[in-house]
Structures are given as C-alpha cells and as structure tokens.
Amino acid sequence: MDYEKIKQLMNDMENSKLTSLDIDFPDGTKIRMAKEIKKEIISNVQENEVQISNQVPINNTLNTNIEKNKPDNRKIVSSPMVGTFYTKPSPTAEAYVEIGKKVEKGDVLCIIEAMKLMNEIESELSGEVVEVFVKDGEPVEYGQPLFAIA
C-alpha cells in the first residue's frame, strides 16, 4: 500500500464515526488506527450550567497506547483476540473476578469465546481488580481493554 493510500485512509478514518480500524493485507502488512475520545467539561459560573462537548483527537500512529490516560499504578489487561467476553465459566457459576478481588499471576480472569472455542484469559499481573470495562456476554475486539489491575 503506498503512502497516498495510507494518508487517504487516515483522512477517511478521521471523518468517520469509527473509533478503531484493523486491516491485515495478504502480503502480511498490518495497519491499526484508533481514535481517543475525550470529553471536555465547560462550566459557566454565572449560570451554573455545564456543557459537554466531544473532542476527538486523532492518533495517526499505527499502534495506539490505550493506557495513556490511566493512573500510574494501574495496568490494563487487554483482549488478546476477537470474541465474546464471559465473566464466568457457566451461566450459574460465580464470576472469576470482580472489582476489589485480589488476583495472582496465572489466575483466570475471564473467558473469550472465539469460533466456538472457550479461551481462558489468565492474568499476567498480580494485584487487585479495580475496574472491569466489559459486561458479560458483550463482544470484544483485539486489544480492547478488559480489566484494570492495581
């Protein structure tokens, strides 16, 4: 893919509502683009009104670091694949983890179902689960944040 086509693809992404795009070409070339969505709060002191406006800065690098806006002590566990996110091994079982639970390296955090295969996602970190970004049964994308561990 030549430079002009990549530049046009970046412009098209900027003008669309897409927040991320992954493309794998037959020659082995891979392109990943993502936008960060930031919300700015503007306060009018005289009228005590709050307005929220979306600002969408474009990060035109091929790999976007999702962890930029997190506190320093948190680590993000991202999805290693595309699939369906499950918090528990069966509908009647308890969730593997929840906010506030301590986890050790190697503990199962969740399951991602991909092409009828149930893949257990193990923690690469030890710490406490401080945030769960995905709800049970929701689809997830490759690289999408799943958990924050402090």
Report the chain's C-alpha Rg in angstroms.
Answer: 19
Contact criterion met (CB below 8 Å) for 144 and 85: no
Question: In the chain, how many domains are there?
Answer: 2
Domain hosting 60: range is 3-64
Residues 55 and 99 in one domain: no
Residues 79 and 140 in one domain: yes
Average pLDDT over the chain, rounded to an integer? 78
Residues 85 and 100 in one domain: yes
Residues 101 and 60 in one domain: no
Lowest mean pLDDT among 20-24, 36-40, 65-69: 65-69
Average pLDDT in the 130-142 region? 94
Higher-confidence position of 140 and 13: 140
Structure tokens at 113: 């179902």
What percentage of the chain exceeds 70 in pLDDT?
75
Structure tokens at 61: 């690098």
Residue 50 has pLDDT above 80, yes or no: no
Place of tokens 């002590």: 73
Quick one: three-class SS letters along 83-133?
Answer: EEEECCCCCCCCCCCCCCCEECCCCEEEEEEECCEEEEEECCCCEEEEEEC
Residues 78 and 143 in one domain: yes
Lowest mean pLDDT among 24-28, 59-63, 86-90, 104-108: 59-63
CATH for 89: 2.40.50.100
Residues 85 and 119 in one domain: yes
Residues 59 and 93 in one domain: no
